[in-house]
A and B are shown apart, each in its own frame.
Chain A
Amino acid sequence: MAISLTVNRKARTVDVEADKPLLWVLREDLGMPGTKFGCGAGLCGACTVILNGEAVRSCQTPLSDAAGKDIVTIEGVAASPVGAKVVEAWTALDVPQCGYCQAGQIMSATALLTATPKPSAEEVSAGMAGNICRCATYLRIQKAIAQASTAISGAAA
């Protein structure tokens, strides 16, 4: 059955099993491998995308749940004002090491800063605790979120 969804502001239609996780639809059917597979169990956050404004684990999101929804992935995140600031801070601070987790980190940070433009240290911890970085870039992730937060507040002011 063909299912329609919006990915990075583009209408897309895929004709695969409705229970196929969005992660694999993105990677295999839509040719968008930026979203990563780490655990397949909702435990690592590598597959994080933003679905109707909320960060979700795409490995745990069946295509049927994404039908008709608005999805933002790493490939399109910089198109939003908050996403652009996050990506800018990530680049300025050279956050990645291996880089594998970073798509998920950026998506979670963007969702966090969209909902909470000036998060406390606890809110950053809570918002980002679902995203594992095996290379342990956490100190720079904290800094980059602070930097993006300042840039967003500055832009809004």
Chain B
Amino acid sequence: MTAATVSRRSFLAASLAGGVALTFEARLAFAAPGKAEPAMLGAFITIAPDNTVTILAKNPEIGQGVKTMLPMLIAEELDVAWSQVKIRQADDNADKYGPQFAGGSMTTPLNWLPARQAGAGARAMLVAAAAQQWGVPAASLTTGEGAVRHAASGRSITYAALAPVAVKMAAPDLDKVALKSPKDFKIVGKAMKGVDTPAIVRGEPLFGIDAHPQGMLYAAMVKCPVISGTLKSFDDAAVRREKGVLAVVPITDGEIPAGKHNAVAIVGDSWWRVHKAREKLAVQWDTSGFDGFSTDGYAAEAKALLEKSPAADLFRAGNADAALAKAAKVVTADYAYPFLAHATLEPQNCTALWHADGKLEIWAPTQDPATARGDIAKVLGIEPGSMTIHMTRIGGGFGRRLMSDFMILTACIAKALPGRPVKLLYDRTDDLRNDYFRPAGWHRMTAGVDASGALVALKDHFITFGASGKPMRAAEMRATEFPAPVLPDVQMGMSFIKTNLTTGWLRAPTSNAVAFVFQGFLDEVAEAAGTDLPSLMVKTLGAPKQLPPEPDDTPFDTGRARGVIEAACKFAGWTGKRSAVPGKGRGFGFYFSHRGYFAEVVDLSVSDGAITIDKVWVAGDIGSQVINPLNAEHQMQGAVIDGIAQAMVWQPIEQKAGAVTQENFGDFPLIRINQTPGEVAITWVVTDNPPTGLGEPTLPPVIPAIANAIKDATGKRLRSLPLSLA
């Protein structure tokens, strides 16, 4: 598959899925500028008379660096100097800009070609304008630093001077427009600092929580402690007497995706005041049918289900039971992981204004504005097109803000207070208890090894959350999970537990759990087979081949997997021997997710039951080009440390009588500076494949690598998260 087919097709598929057939040609509809006015070359590029170029960043910025990265691609092909470029965040407008979500590490694969084509198309029009003006063939012209040059005559003209003519040129066919050869890149592949870094260090208002349209009111909410419970009755007389309180708005209508979120909002002139006024609200909830759910209950159910046959098949090949009966060695083990919250540091919030004409204007830290638009339209019964959504910078996403609950609630409040902008802000407890949690899961793994030490059969009974034979959101796993597709005899099945909790995608969803289970278990299998995990992986991967993909996904290339495994081992000096130093351990983990191949080695120390991560080595393959190496390093360090946090620091989200019990960072601790590894070392395996994303795929392998290193250091095999020797 070529770069062009992957990116182009998935780009079109994604935009069609959003209900809009979109081509980049449509975006080259130009507006003719007046004198000394900036000229727009397509939807993304505006050239000012002083030759500064403003490029719109179309996707939500959650700290993953796309506000810098996407304009880099456009600027590269437009052939301007990075110092000429100014960047502005686009509003939500998929018709104009194409898909605008931050999820699945998809920004790079979906935009690598189209963004470059947008830049190259504008450049072609500027060149055509110069050719016309000078009466020379376009082919005799070159560009650079925002100017067109004619070497033969020594003439040169700036883009600013050409723009008024360029906008009248025929738009080129973007699929045919010439793109730079990577060896000529001047911006792509260079370390570029975050475009907002200077504003961040000055404390400028950038985030959703900082939005402040004139006349804005503040809202805090009282939510049912049991997710899915509904509002029975309330008495707000005492609340209304509190200083600064202006309105009390019950929110009972609307099924917010995957769970009812009934709430009572208190609105006033200060968030601190309305938040405090919550104490005075007398409220009754109906939680019947939802208050029987608990962490202990799920564990007991899972235990019982593991002893039964799976309720549904996930994948079957050959006859796993027969193969296991013949195997030289059989390994079996149970693995488990808990519910987790996202805990973005900026709590969920949104600001909305219901204009007098019934139009809704929204300022939101959202990862998926298009979905939010549809959700809000459905709940409020308004036209999706009657909304303006401004995307703010986002204080951490991790998948939490792919959900629209906070935007829908805010829209409901704004509708009740027409003409006044309102900002709804969750406090930390609201935020933790009303998450779309990473679902817990349990796996009974069984594997068979033949006399030569080869893995020949595999079984997994996966206990997850769902109903009627279907997993809930983010509670599924891949039927093509490696090594299932390469083994002759496999049986993977699922059984389901019900929950009232809302579930959702947490950075590297499903992979952050399944990598731990599979790579932890395969480490056990390797041990039983008398080898080490990288060797077992290489042997099982076999000759380079493409394994069939899930629908809408990419195939798994065993050659690329092997490439990063060997690179990580070489980088870390992996010998496969047990650690000779007491209290020191080394572990390995590999995972393929979000189109990226990652192998990681962890060195750690154990002393008095306390685990310290000393160093992590990472080898990654995300294709032919790392677009912004500086940001790539940030993403990888962040993902590795995030994985360490999930493995060892975060505590399970607990539920009693239907309600989540966590309150704040005391009982849902995040990783701190004194718990970070000494070093995260990174190496790249560059392959001739289209560039893919980096927000997620570095995270999963570090979790099993830690578990496997703990085994190496202590002899103890830890099979449930969080990993603890206590």
Q: Is B209 an interface residue (CB 8 A)?
A: yes
Question: Would you give the shortest CB distance from B199 to chain A, in whole angstroms?
Answer: 8
Chain A residue nearest to B676 (CB atoms) is A138
A78 engages B271 (CB within 8 Å) = no
Q: What does DSSP make chain B's interface, helix, strand, loop or mixed?
A: loop
Question: Would you give the shortest CB distance from B303 to chain A, in whole angstroms?
Answer: 33
Q: Is B308 an interface residue (CB 8 A)?
A: no
Q: Which of B272, B398, B674 contacts A125 (CB 8 A)?
A: B674
B271 engages A28 (CB within 8 Å) = yes
Interface string of B654-676 (1 = CB under 8 A from A): 00000000001110001111101
Interface string of B414-450 (1 = CB under 8 A from A): 0000000000010110000000000000000000000
Q: Which of B395, B670, B676 contacts A139 (CB 8 A)?
A: B676
Chain A 61-91 interface residues, beta-carbon cutoff 8 Å to B: 73-75, 78, 87, 90-91
A129 engages B63 (CB within 8 Å) = no
B674 engages A137 (CB within 8 Å) = no
Question: Would you give the shortest CB distance from A61 to chain B, in whole angstroms?
Answer: 13
Question: Would you give the shortest CB distance from B13 to chain A, in whole angstroms?
Answer: 29
Q: Which of A39, A74, A94, A134 contacts B197 (CB 8 A)?
A: A94
Q: Give every chain B residue within 8 A of A156 (Cβ-Cβ).
A: none
Q: Is A40 an interface residue (CB 8 A)?
A: yes
A141 engages B201 (CB within 8 Å) = no
Q: Is B198 an interface residue (CB 8 A)?
A: yes
B396 engages A100 (CB within 8 Å) = yes
B676 engages A101 (CB within 8 Å) = no
A89 to B574: give the CA distance in the assembly, Å: 36
Q: What does DSSP make chain A's interface, helix, strand, loop or mixed?
A: loop
A32 to B670: give the CA distance in the assembly, Å: 27
Q: Is B131 an interface residue (CB 8 A)?
A: no
A41 engages B666 (CB within 8 Å) = yes
Q: Is A152 an interface residue (CB 8 A)?
A: no
Known contacts A135-B63, A136-B637; A39/B202 CB under 8 A: no
Interface string of B204-231 (1 = CB under 8 A from A): 1111011010000010000000000000
Interface string of B464-498 (1 = CB under 8 A from A): 00000000000000000000000000000000000
Chain A residue nearest to B634 (CB atoms) is A97
Q: Is B200 an interface residue (CB 8 A)?
A: yes
Q: Is A44 an interface residue (CB 8 A)?
A: yes
A134 engages B673 (CB within 8 Å) = no
Q: Is B680 an interface residue (CB 8 A)?
A: yes
Chain A residue nearest to B343 (CB atoms) is A134
Q: Give every chain B residue within 8 A of A46 (Cβ-Cβ).
A: 345
Chain B residue nearest to A20 (CB atoms) is B272
Known contacts A35-B203, A40-B427, A101-B345; A134/B670 CB under 8 A: yes
Q: Is A53 an interface residue (CB 8 A)?
A: no
A98 engages B205 (CB within 8 Å) = no
Question: Would you give the shortest CB distance from B508 to chain A, in whole angstroms?
Answer: 14
Question: Would you give the shortest CB distance from B469 to chain A, in whole angstroms?
Answer: 36
B665 engages A99 (CB within 8 Å) = no
Chain B 136-175 interface residues, beta-carbon cutoff 8 Å to A: none
B197 engages A136 (CB within 8 Å) = no
Q: Is B393 an interface residue (CB 8 A)?
A: yes
A33 engages B205 (CB within 8 Å) = yes
Q: Is B115 an interface residue (CB 8 A)?
A: no
A74 to B207: give the CA distance in the assembly, Å: 15
Q: Give every chain A residue within 8 A of B679 (Cβ-Cβ).
A: 139
B666 engages A99 (CB within 8 Å) = no
Q: Is A128 an interface residue (CB 8 A)?
A: yes
A100 engages B428 (CB within 8 Å) = no
B664 engages A41 (CB within 8 Å) = yes
A131 to B201: give the CA distance in the assembly, Å: 16
| 9 nearest A-B residue pairs (beta carbon) | A34-B203, A98-B63, A100-B395, A74-B203, A136-B641, A97-B63, A99-B200, A24-B272, A43-B665
| 5 A–B contacts, CB within 8 A, in A order | A24-B270, A96-B63, A96-B197, A101-B345, A134-B396
